[in-house]
C-alpha cells in the first residue's frame, strides 16, 4: 500500500528555501526562493534543485517588488528577521518568464554555448530538421518530434 503525505520544513534560517519565497501562479508548483546554501552560487554548475529557482539576491528582489507597494523597505527587513511567516501579495500582477538557453550571442558578438543539462536540444534539433514538413502537411511540431 502506498501512502501519500506532505513533507514540510519549518520556516527559518535553516529552511532549504531560505527566508523568502516568491510564489507565482503556474501548474508546475515552480517558484523563486532564497537559500541558506549561498555557496552554491559560486559553483560553475548550479542546477541543484527539484524544479524551483534559487535567487542569489532574494532580499534585493523582494525590495524591488515591494518598491511600489504600501510596505516600506525597512519593514521588509524587520519582517524577514522576525522569523514570522508573512504573505505580501503584490497589488499589480507581475509576469515572470523562465527561459532556458544553451546558446546565445554575447555583447561582443561571440556565440556562447553551455551544456544542455535538461536535454532539451534534441527536441529542438528534430523540429528544425522538419520545418519544411510543418508548413507542407500541417502536422504539429509535437507530432513531427515524436515521429523522428
* Cell, residue 108: 561582443
Which listed residue (3, 33, 74, 130) is catalytic?
A: 33
Residues 6+ apart with CB under 8 A from 36: 13, 14, 15, 16, 18
Q: Known catalytic residue: 3? A: no
* Cell, residue 80: 524577514
Select from 129, 101, 128 the least CA-distant residue to 115: 101
End-to-end CA distance of the chain: 39
Which listed residue (3, 52, 74, 130) is catalytic?
A: 52
Residues identified as active-site:
33, 52
Amino acid at each position: 500500500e502506498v501512502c501519500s503525505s506532505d513533507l514540510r520544513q519549518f520556516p527559518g534560517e535553516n529552511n532549504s528555501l531560505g527566508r523568502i519565497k516568491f510564489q507565482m501562479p503556474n501548474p508546475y508548483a515552480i517558484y523563486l526562493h532564497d537559500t541558506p546554501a549561498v555557496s552554491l552560487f559560486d559553483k560553475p554548475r548550479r542546477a541543484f534543485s527539484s524544479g524551483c529557482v534559487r535567487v542569489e539576491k532574494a532580499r534585493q528582489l523582494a525590495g524591488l517588488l515591494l518598491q511600489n507597494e504600501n510596505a516600506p523597505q525597512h519593514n521588509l527587513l524587520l519582517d524577514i528577521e522576525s522569523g514570522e511567516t508573512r504573505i505580501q501579495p503584490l497589488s499589480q500582477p507581475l509576469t515572470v518568464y523562465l527561459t532556458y538557453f544553451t546558446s546565445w550571442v554575447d555583447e561582443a558578438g561571440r556565440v556562447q554555448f553551455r551544456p544542455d543539462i535538461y536535454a532539451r536540444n534534441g527536441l529542438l534539433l528534430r523540429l528544425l530538421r522538419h520545418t519544411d514538413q510543418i508548413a507542407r502537411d500541417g502536422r504539429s511540431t509535437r507530432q513531427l518530434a515524436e515521429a523522428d
